[in-house]
Amino acid sequence: MIQNFLHFFADHFDMTGRYLEAASTYARDIDGVIALIGVLVGFWFILSEVAFFWLIFKFRAKDGVKSQYVAGETPEEKRWITWPHMAVLVCDVFIIVGAVWVWYNVKQNLPPAQQTVRVIGQQWAWTFVHPGPDGQLDTGDDIALIDELHVQKGVVYHYKLESRDVLHNFSVPVFRLKQDAIPGRTITGWFEPTKVGEHDIQCAEICGIGHGVMGARIHIESAAEHAAWMSQHSPTRTVASVASSPAPAAR
Ligand SMILES: [Cu+2]
C-alpha cells in the first residue's frame, strides 16, 4: 500500500525519473519519496507566497491610514498560525511514513545475496572486485577491475564497501544508491539491477583535489552477456591481490 502510494507520486510528479533512468528495484520508491516531499512542500510554498504578497498588496501604505500594531495574541489571530501548523504536521506524517518505509527497505533490510562484490574507494579511483566463475569472493578467480563494475540484471548483489584513505561515497545515480565509504570499516549494502545498460558511477563525497575525476562505469548485463564477460577474464588476468595491497599514503 505504501509502495503504491509512493509510486503514484513517482508516476505523476517525478522530476528525477524524467531525466535519469531508474535501473534498480528501489529506484522508483526513492523517486516517490522525493516527489511526495516536492508536492507537499511545493503546495505550502505556493500557498504561503500567494498569501504573503496578497497581504503586502492589500495592506500597503495609503494616505490617511495609520498602521496598526497587531500582536497576534488573541485566539482569533492565533488561528492563522495554529491551523496551518496542524495541516503541516499532518503532511509530515505522510512524509515520515513513506521515508521510513523506504529507508528500512533500502538501508536496513538486507535481502539474501546472490552475488557479492567488493567496492574499494581510494584517491582517486574505484577498485571493483568481482567474484569469478566460482561465485565466491576472495578466491583465486576473483576479477578486480579499476573504474569498471560488471553486474547482471535481476541478481541481488551485496556490496562490501571500503576506503583505503579518506571518506568517499559510492554513488550509482541510476540505482538511486549512495553510500559513504569510511576508512577502517567495511559497509555492506545491496542493490538489484532491473535494466541492461551502461551508466555512471561517481564519488559523491569531496575527497581531495581529484574528487571530480573519480568516476567509473557500471555495466548492467543480461545473463548471457555477463557470462561472456566473465569467460573473457581467465584467472591469470585477474588481480585478486589488488584488494589486499597496501594503501597509498593519504594526501
Ligand atoms: Cu572520492
pLDDT at 251 over 90: no
Cα–ligand 1 centroid distance for 120 (angstroms): 10
Confidence of residue 7 (pLDDT cuts 50, 70, 90): confident
In the prediction, which pLDDT does 101 show? Answer: 94
Cα–ligand 1 centroid distance for 62 (angstroms): 59
pLDDT at 144 over 60: yes
Looking at residues 232-249, what average pLDDT do you find?
52
| 112 exposure class (CB count in 10 Å sphere: 0-12, 13-18, 19+) | exposed
Task: Give the start-to-end residue ranges of the domains of the chain.
Answer: 2-108, 115-244
Cα–ligand 1 centroid distance for 215 (angstroms): 9
Cα–ligand 1 centroid distance for 183 (angstroms): 12
Cα–ligand 1 centroid distance for 190 (angstroms): 20
- Most confident stretch, 69-78, 160-169, 237-246: 160-169
Predicted model pTM: 0.81
Cα–ligand 1 centroid distance for 248 (angstroms): 14
CA distance 120 to 168: 9
In the prediction, which pLDDT does 235 show? Answer: 59
Cα–ligand 1 centroid distance for 219 (angstroms): 20
Q: What is the 3-state secondary structure (H, E, C) of the chain?
A: CHHHHHHHHHHHHCCHHHHCCCCECCHHHHHHHHHHHHHHHHHHHHHHHHHHHHHHHHCCCCCCCCCCCCCCCCHHHHHHHHHHHHHHHHHHHHHHHHHHHHHHHHHHCCCCCCEEEEEEEECCEEEEEECCCCCCCCCCCCEEEECEEEEECCCCEEEEEEECCCCEEEEEHHHCEEEEECCCCCEEEEECECCCEEEEEEECCCCCCCHHHCEEEEEEECHHHHHHHHHHCCHHHCCHHHHHCCCCCCC
| Homologous superfamily of 115-244 | Cupredoxins -  blue copper proteins (2.60.40.420)
pLDDT digits (tens, 9 = 90+) for 51-105: 999 999 999 989 988 888 888 889 999 998 899 899 999 999 999 999 999 999 9
Cα–ligand 1 centroid distance for 86 (angstroms): 43
Cα–ligand 1 centroid distance for 111 (angstroms): 27
Cα–ligand 1 centroid distance for 169 (angstroms): 6
